[in-house]
């Protein structure tokens, strides 16, 4: 491969291009960026590509990229030739510059975001950002410039609004206080900004999640279910705040995936145990409460429940934990809690084994 002159030529060409691509990528990943900054780094990138383009003739004529001299092959192999190499190299540079210009041609939404950036409100209150307002109205002609300026002036002068850390926080304040009819243009601008991705990290996160969800074993999954699972995985911090989310999701898993007709009793057993361990906030933290687990089964005995009923509770808990260790992303999200679940499964297994012996004694005594 390294003895192929065409391969070595394009290797040398992209060796000059890729450092600039990596530098541009790293600069665009910064959190605090604006349209002026983006325009500057894109222009520098294009200038560097133009310099590489102008240096293509010397690269074609040069010998630094050429492989070592070799004996003529027994079978002739077709090569591009210097003219074709020159033409393709120019086309590569032109394509990169064209895409860079088109991809970052619209950056006005970044300017619009500065109008509703909470930490800039005191500065905007002293000097209103007229240039940013003009750019915003130019980008979104449906907005009423005069009304928007009046609303923003009121927001900049209000200390309660100045405490908002971003567009989403400001939007929530306006909605919670029923001010959407008062600040109509501001709400319209907020709706645009909070639904417009500033970078590609959000879409990249979706593709990363998709790789984890749609595996070889799940390749027959329907689109609706795949969308639902992706949303649950991406917004897992929100779902964790939903009361009884773990048990409700587990119930759906038993009913729809495993077709378990007795799923309500299984879920009820798990819910009762979790509530016993922590009545204020039932969660998987019960995995670290071995003493309360023993106390739970001791109280079942004192309440007069049979050993078989206690074994059924243990089976329900084991199935619940197997669901979390196998069918969810617990191992990836919290490896420590996953390990606790595996140890707790072994602990339940030992409890179930000892209880099963007592169940056998009870059955023998009845006979």
Domain layout of the chain by residue ranges: 5-69+80-105, 109-194, 200-234, 242-366
The reported pTM is 0.41
**Cα separation, 218 vs 38, whole angstroms:** 41
Distance CA 362, CA 342 (A): 30
Residue 294's CB: how many other CB atoms inside 10 A?
Answer: 12
At 147 the pLDDT is: 92
Closest CA to 60 of 21, 20, 78, 87: 87
Task: Specify the pLDDT at position 45.
Answer: 92
Q: What's CA 7's distance to the chain center, in Å?
A: 38
> What pLDDT was estimated at residue 179?
87
Residue 364 CA: distances (Å) to CA of 351, 361, 367: 20, 5, 5
- Using CB atoms within 10 A of its CB, is residue 17 exposed (0-12), middle (13-18) or buried (19+)? middle
Closest CA to 286 of 296, 297, 277, 294: 277
pLDDT tens by residue, 20-77: 999 988 887 776 665 567 777 888 999 999 999 998 888 776 655 555 555 555 555 5
Q: What's the CA gap between 50 and 304, in Å, rounded?
A: 85
- Contact yes or no for 287/337 (Cβ under 8 A): yes
DSSP for residue 179? -
Q: Which two tokens stand for residue 40?
A: 């500057």
The Cα-based distances of 331 to 327, 339, 342 in angstroms read 10, 8, 10
d(CA 133, CA 152): 10
Q: How far apart are CA 308 and CA 366, in angstroms?
A: 13
Asked if residue 149 lies in contact with residue 234, where contact means CB atoms within 8 angstroms, the answer is no
Residues contacting residue 284 through CB under 8 Å, at least 6 positions apart: 246, 324, 337, 341
Q: Which residues of the chain have pLDDT under 50?
A: 200-201
Helices 35-54, 108-115: axis angle to 10 degrees equals 160
- What is the pLDDT at residue 214? 65
User: Backbone dihedral region of 78: left (phi > 0), alpha (psi from -120 to 50 degrees) or beta?
Assistant: beta
What pLDDT does residue 47 have?
92
Q: What is the pLDDT of residue 18?
A: 92
Q: At what angle do helices 307-326 and 245-252 cross, to 10 degrees?
A: 90
């Amino acid at each position: 491969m390294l003895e192929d002159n065409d391969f070595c030529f394009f290797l040398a060409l992209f060796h000059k291009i890729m450092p600039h691509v990596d530098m541009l990528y790293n600069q665009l990943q910064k959190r605090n960026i604006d349209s002026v900054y983006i325009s500057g780094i894109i222009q520098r990138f294009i200038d560097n590509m133009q310099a590489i383009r102008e240096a293509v003739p010397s690269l074609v004529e040069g010998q630094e990229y050429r492989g070592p001299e070799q004996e003529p092959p027994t079978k002739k192999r077709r090569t591009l030739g210097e003219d074709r190499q020159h033409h393709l190299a120019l086309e590569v540079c032109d394509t990169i510059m064209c895409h860079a210009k088109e991809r970052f041609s619209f950056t006005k939404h970044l300017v619009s975001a500065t109008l509703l950036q909470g930490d800039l409100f005191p500065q905007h209150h002293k000097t209103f950002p007229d240039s940013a307002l003009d750019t915003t109205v130019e980008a979104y002609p449906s907005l009423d410039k005069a009304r928007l300026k009046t609303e923003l002036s009121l927001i900049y002068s209000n200390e309660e609004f100045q405490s908002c850390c971003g567009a989403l926080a400001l939007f929530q304040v306006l909605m919670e206080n029923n001010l959407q009819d008062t600040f109509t243009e501001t709400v319209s601008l907020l709706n645009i900004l909070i639904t417009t991705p500033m970078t590609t990290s959000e879409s990249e996160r979706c593709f990363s999640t998709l790789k984890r969800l749609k595996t070889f074993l799940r390749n027959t999954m329907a689109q609706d279910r795949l969308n639902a699972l992706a949303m649950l995985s991406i917004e897992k911090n929100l779902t964790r705040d939903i009361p009884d989310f773990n048990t409700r999701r587990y119930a759906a898993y038993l009913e729809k995936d495993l077709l378990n007709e007795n799923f309500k009793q299984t879920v009820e057993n798990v819910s009762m145990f979790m509530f016993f361990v922590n009545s204020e906030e039932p969660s998987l933290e019960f995995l670290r409460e071995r003493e309360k687990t023993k106390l739970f089964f001791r109280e079942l005995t004192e309440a007069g429940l049979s050993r078989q009923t206690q074994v059924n509770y243990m089976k329900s808990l084991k199935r619940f934990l197997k669901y979390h260790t196998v069918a969810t992303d617990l191992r990836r999200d919290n490896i420590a809690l996953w390990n606790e679940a595996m140890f707790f499964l072994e602990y339940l297994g030992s409890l179930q084994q000892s209880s099963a012996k007592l169940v056998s004694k009870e059955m023998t005594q009845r006979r």
